[in-house]
Structures are given as structure tokens and as C-alpha cells.
Amino acid sequence: NKKDSILILKYLLHSQTSCPYRCHCFTSVQILCSDERMISLPRNMSRQVKDFILVNSAVSYLFSPTLEESPQLTKLIFLSNALRSVHAQAFEHLTELQELEISGNPWLEHLYLGTFSKQGNLTKLLLNCNRFKTVLPGMFDSLKQLQTLQMKGNIISDLPTFLFLNLQNLRVLDLSQNKLEDVKREVFSGLARLEILRMNNNLIRNLTSNMFHNISQLIELHFEGNKISELADDIFFVLTKLKVLNLRGNLLTVFRSLTSLTDLILSSNQLSDLPEDIFRNVTALENLDLSENQLTLLPEMIFHNLSSIKAIHLNKNHLSNVNGKLLEDQLLLQQLYLSDNQLESLPQGFLDPFVMQHTVRLHGNPWKCDCRMSYLHDWMLTNSRGVEMLDRVVCASPGYLRSRAVVSIDKEQLVCPVSKDDMPDLRSCSLQAVGDTVIINCKMDTCSPLTVKVQFQEDDGSIMEHIMKHEPKCSNETMIEIPVQ
């Protein structure tokens, strides 16, 4: 049966590869060892094995002869072990290695110079989540084929200049989640082909104006979660190919945009005012995140010419109103977040430019459910599938509608009470009915204009409206007669 077949297959694989004790040999070329009781590497690995993975073991030391019997390895991974020290010649015989990872070792504080001296074929090196405080100059000099280097999650506070000088093929460099406070331009010397740089979640306060001159081919740049408060005007000038810029969670109060970006993340800063032309030349921009800032107002034309924009996040700001033409050109917009602001209503036609399948967030605003809410009320009923957390879009006022979901209210309930301050002085107006005619007679004290609107509601609920306007002629009496049909 099927169960017996699987057992036979496992037995054959085990016998063919002479699988070491406490390890799993899934194929003839792959071995995974994961046992908390394992204190040393297995000695009886087959010469067919190309990939060796050691996870969650008690192995504390890698000595020089440890792996000399497996020179054929191309992939070697030590993940979440108890490593305390790696001998400088531990990998001396592994000249075929293409991928090496030494990550998740909380007691591993340093590596010796020359540790990677024989790994000229290495293309991927991961040294994440250890306890490295420093990196020695020349540590990576022999890795001329390296394409990916990660050292995230350590406690590195300083990088030697020219550390990466020989890494001319490096495409990805990840130095995130360390203790870096300052990075000099010379650190990136030699990285002419670097495409992705991750420096997020460090302690960096300043970026020098010439910092990126040696890495002008960058496509992605991540500096989120630092302490950057200002940027030089020309700091990104050389990054003509940059597509993704992430500055989330810094201390920025102003920002100047780039023309080549497709993704710009400025959330969780202290932006309070943006110039109208900030995105004027960023015509390729697709995703813009301005959430969790201090924005109170957006210029009418700020998003114009962003013909490729697909997502705009404005949630968690202090917007109390938005211009009716703010989204006029954004025909491809698919995602708009306006949640958690101070909005009481939206202008007539504000959301009409949506022609694509869309997602909108509107909850967390103090919506005022009066006559000015009619447009948004009708739009949400028609587009309810596109509004996330629809039941949380609730009225804050008037009192008798407070906490009611906007879409649960009848349109007839959305009324605006008229106060004396909103009306001309009508104390001298009289109402007279003669047959089927209603006469409104007003003695005006001033030359103010007056408009009278009369609505007739039919039995089927339809409403006919008549409007009469009085143009001021400075006479002291105006009579408006409206026949009732």
C-alpha cells in the first residue's frame, strides 16, 4: 500500500546516502540535521551531498578539520545553533561553496580574518542575528563573485572604510537592525553594481550629501526606523534609477521628491506641510505612503500628473477637509486610505474618478451626518464592496445619529437645520394661501438677495423642486408668488 511504499522509499534513500545519525536525508544531495543533543558535525556524510543544513543543535565550535571530508559542498547553512567560535580555517577545503549562512547564534561575537579566504565562488553570504559588534577590514576581500551579503540583526556600531571594496558583483547589501549611527561614503566604495541597500532600524541621524555617489545604480533604498530629521537637497541626485525609497519612521519634517520613484514610503514621520509641486515630476509613482504624519491640509494640485498612481495612504493624519479636485487625474487609483483623520464630510464627486476595482478606508473620522453627507452616503451604498470596515464608518454627530453606521441611515435623515445666522432677516415675511396659490410676502430691510426653494414630494417618493431667486434692487418690499399645482 501507499504507506509501505513511502517507508521503503525512505529506507532506500537512507541506505543509498548512508544518512548520518540524527539527520534526515531527503535526497542523495541534501542533508538536514536538527537535534538539540548534537554537539559535533557528522563524520560519515556521502561525497554526493551538496547541501548540508544544521539547525537547532548544541554545536559550539567549528574546528579547522571539521568539514575537510566534504569539499564538494555547494550550500552550507548553520541556523540557530549554539556556535561560539568559528576557526579561521574551518571552511578552508570548501572551495566549491556558493551559499553560506551562519545565523541565529546568540554567543557568536566575531569571525577571524581569513575565514572566507578560499570561498572565491561564493555568491550568497548570510551572517544574520549573531552578536557581531565589529567587522574586520579585509574580511570580504576574497569574495569577488558575491551577489548577496546580509549582516542584519547584529550589534554592529561601525563599519571600516573600503570594507566592500572587492565586492564588485554585489547586488544586495543588508545591514539592517544594527547599531550604526554614521556611515561614510567610502564604506560603499567598490559597490558599483549594488541594487538594493537596507540600512533600516539603525541609529542613523544624518545622511551626507555625497553618501550615494559610489552606489548610483541603486533601485531600492531602505532607511526606515532611523532618526533622520533632515535631508540635503541633492542627496538623492545621483540615484537616477531608484524605484523604491522607504523612509518610514524617521523624524522628517520636510521632504523633496525624486523623479524616478515608483514606491515612496514616508509614513510615521513628522511631515506637516507639503509643497504643491513636490510630486510634479514623479510621473512613474505607483505607491505613495504618507500615513501617520501631521498633515492638516493637502494642496489641490499635489497629486496631479501622477497618472500611474495606484495607492495613496493618508491615514492617521490630521486632515479636516480635502479639496474636491484632489484626485481628479488619478484614474488608475485602486487604493485610498483616509481613515483616522478629522474629516466630517467629503466634497461632491470626490471619489468619482475611481474606474478600477478599488479599496477605500474611511473609518475613524468624526463624520457629520447632515445634508453635506448625502454624496458620501450614496457613494458608499453603491460601492460598499470597496469600502473596508464599512460598519466602522459611523456618525459622530448630530447626537441622535451618533455611532450609527452611515450606510444604515436613510437619506431623509441627512438634514441640515437652519439657524438664524444662516438666513436673511425674515421676521417681516408672511404666508398667505389663496386657492391653489401660496403667497410669500417679505418686507426686506436691506438690499440682500433672497432665494426661495420649494419642494413637492409625490406619492411615489419623487421630488420636484422649484427655485425662485430675487436679485436685489434696493426696494423695501419683495413679493414672490409660487402656484401650488
Compute the distance between CA of residue 167 and CA of residue 158 in angstroms, rounded to an integer.
19
Compute the distance between CA of residue 467 and CA of residue 454 in angstroms, rounded to an integer.
6
> Which residues partner with 451 through β-bridges?
469
Compute the distance between CA of residue 477 and CA of residue 485 in angstroms, rounded to an integer.
26
Provide the pLDDT confidence category of residue 8 given band limits of 50, 70 and 90.
very low
118-139 pLDDT, tens per residue? 999 999 999 999 999 999 999 9
- Please state the domain count of the chain: 1
- Specify if 406 maps to a domain: no
Q: What is the average per-residue pLDDT within 92-113?
A: 96
In which residue are the cell numbers 478599488 written? 358
Predicted pLDDT at 370: 95
Q: pTM for the whole thing? A: 0.81
- Specify if 58 maps to a domain: no
Q: What is the average per-residue pLDDT within 429-457?
A: 66
Compute the distance between CA of residue 446 and CA of residue 449 in angstroms, rounded to an integer.
9
| 435, pLDDT greater than 80 | no
Summary mean pLDDT of the chain: 88
Tell me 5's DSSP state.
Answer: H
52-87 pLDDT, tens per residue? 999 999 999 999 888 998 999 999 999 999 999 999
- Specify if 466 maps to a domain: yes
- Specify if 116 maps to a domain: no
- Specify if 24 maps to a domain: no
Predicted pLDDT at 232: 85
- Specify if 383 maps to a domain: no
**Residue 472: which domain range?**
426-483
> Which residues partner with 236 through β-bridges?
none
Considering only residues 35 and 450, tell me which one the structure prediction assigns the higher pLDDT: 35
Q: Alpha-carbon torsion 261, 265, 269, 274, what sign? A: positive
Compute the distance between CA of residue 323 and CA of residue 424 in angstroms, rounded to an integer.
29
324: nearest Cα among 286, 372, 279, 292: 372
- Specify if 268 maps to a domain: no
Compute the distance between CA of residue 68 and CA of residue 41 in angstroms, rounded to an integer.
12
Rg (alpha carbons) of the chain, rounded to whole number: 34
